[in-house]
Chains A and B, each alone.
Chain A
Amino acid sequence: MAGTKTSPPMDTNLQRWQDWGDRHASQLFLMPAVLLVLVMSIFPLIASLYLALTRVKIAQGGFDITFIGLANFNKLIFGREQRHTIGKIGEPTLFGWILFIAIAILLIWSIKRLVLRRTTLTVTHGAIAAAIFVLIGLGVGHFLFGYYTIEGEPPEMGYLGMLAWGSFCTFVALRILWLAIGPLLPGEWPSAGPILGRLVAITIALYLMWITVHTFTTLPNEEGNPTGIPGTLLITLYFVIFGVSLQYILGLGLALLLTGDLFGKRFFRVVFLLPMMITPVGVAYMFRMVSNTSIGPLTPLFRTVFGVGGDYSWAAQAHSARIGVMLADIWQWTPFIFIVLIAALEGMAQDQREAALVDGATNWQFFRYITLPQILPVSTTIILIRLIEAFKIVDLPFVMTRGGPGTATEPMTLHAYQAFKASDFGGSAAVAYLLLFLVTYIGLNFINNARPLAEELSS
Chain B
Amino acid sequence: MDWLLRRRGLYTPSPLAQIFIYFILIFWTIVVLFPIYWVFTTSIKLPIAVNSGPNYIPWVDFQPDLHAWYKILIEEGESTTFVPFINTVIVGISSALIALGIGAAASYALVRFKYKPKLGLIGLFVALVLLSLAAIGYGGAPVNLVIVSAAVIFFLLAQTIGKRFNAHLGNEDIAFWLISQRMLPPVAIVMPIFIFFKSINLDDTRTALIITYVAANLPIVIWLMRDYFATIPIVLEESAAIDGATRLQTFISIILPIAIPGLVATFLFVLVFTWNEYLLALFLSTNNAQTMPILVVAQNTTRGPQWWNMSVLIMLMIVPVIGMAIALERFIARGLLVGAVKS
Contacts and interface: CB of A to CB of B under 8 A. Distances in A.
Interface of A: 1, 4-5, 18, 21-22, 25-26, 29-30, 32-34, 36-37, 39-41, 43-48, 50-51, 54, 65, 67, 179-180, 183, 253-254, 257-262, 266, 268-283, 285-290, 294-300, 331, 339-340, 343-344, 346-347, 353-354, 357, 377-378, 381-382, 385, 388, 391-392, 394-395, 399, 412-413, 416-417, 420, 425, 428-429, 431-433, 435-436, 439-440, 443
B279 A29 contact: no
B36 A286 contact: yes
Interface in B38-76: 38-39, 42, 50-54, 56
A381 to B, nearest CB: 5
Given A46-B133, A277-B324, A354-B10, A344 B341 contact: yes
B24 interface: yes
A435 B185 contact: yes
A41 B32 contact: no
- Residue with the greatest number of chain A CB neighbours at <10 A, chosen from B18, B51, B279: B279
Given A32-B102, A279-B278, A289-B42, A339 B332 contact: yes
17 contacts: A25-B246, A30-B174, A33-B218, A40-B211, A41-B184, A257-B21, A270-B326, A278-B314, A282-B39, A287-B35, A331-B32, A331-B35, A340-B340, A354-B10, A381-B343, A399-B297, A440-B183
Closest 9 CB pairs of A and B: A40-B215, A29-B109, A33-B106, A25-B247, A47-B192, A432-B188, A279-B276, A44-B192, A44-B189
Contact of B54 (A40, A270, A297, A429): A297
B83 interface: no
A357 B279 CA distance: 49
A282 B278 CA distance: 11
B34 to A, nearest CB: 7
B24 A257 contact: yes
A297 B332 contact: no
Contacts of B214: 36, 40
A432 B279 CA distance: 13
Interface in B155-185: 165, 167, 174, 177-178, 181-185
A382 B248 contact: no
Interface in B120-142: 123, 129-130, 133, 137-138
A257 B275 CA distance: 31
Nearest to A344: B341
Contacts of B329: 266, 269-270, 273, 339
Nearest to B88: A279
A13 B148 CA distance: 31
Contact of B178 (A33, A259, A266, A443): A33
B341 A347 contact: yes
B10 A413 contact: no
Contacts of B102: 32-33, 36
A375 to B, nearest CB: 9
B29 A268 contact: yes
A1 B133 CA distance: 37
B258 interface: no
A344 B337 CA distance: 8
Given A34-B174, A41-B181, A280-B293, 10 more contacts: A25-B247, A26-B109, A50-B137, A269-B329, A277-B322, A289-B35, A289-B39, A417-B282, A436-B188, A440-B183
B186 interface: yes
B54 A413 contact: no
Contacts of B341: 340, 343-344, 347, 378
Contacts of B241: 4-5
B109 A289 contact: no
B56 A297 contact: yes
Contacts of A282: 39, 293, 296, 314, 317-318
A45 B184 contact: yes
B54 A296 contact: yes
Given A261-B12, A273-B325, A295-B51, A44 B196 contact: yes
A277 B105 contact: no
Given A32-B106, A254-B28, A339-B337, A43 B129 contact: yes
Interface string B304-336: 010100110010011001101110110011001
Interface residues of B, number: 109
A85 to B, nearest CB: 14
A87 B288 CA distance: 39
B244 A5 contact: yes
Contacts of B307: 289
Contact of B32 (A4, A271, A439): A271
A425 B183 CA distance: 22
B9 interface: yes
Given A260-B12, A270-B325, A381-B343, A300 B54 contact: yes
Given A295-B53, A340-B337, A413 B185 contact: yes
B143 interface: no
Contact of A37 (B35, B193, B215, B333): B215
Given A22-B246, A343-B333, A413-B187, A37 B133 contact: no
B187 A278 contact: no
Contacts of A269: 329
A1 B188 contact: no
Contact of A45 (B25, B189, B276): B189
A260 B36 contact: no
Contacts of B191: 44, 47-48, 51, 420, 425, 428-429, 432
A388 B317 contact: no
Contacts of B324: 277
Contacts of A392: 185-187, 279
Given A44-B192, A270-B326, A295-B51, A388 B182 contact: yes
B11 interface: yes
Nearest to A339: B332
A4 to B, nearest CB: 8
B28 A272 contact: yes
B192 A43 contact: yes
A443 B183 contact: yes
B84 interface: no
Given A43-B192, A257-B24, A436-B184, A279 B32 contact: no
Contacts of B113: 1, 25-26, 29-30
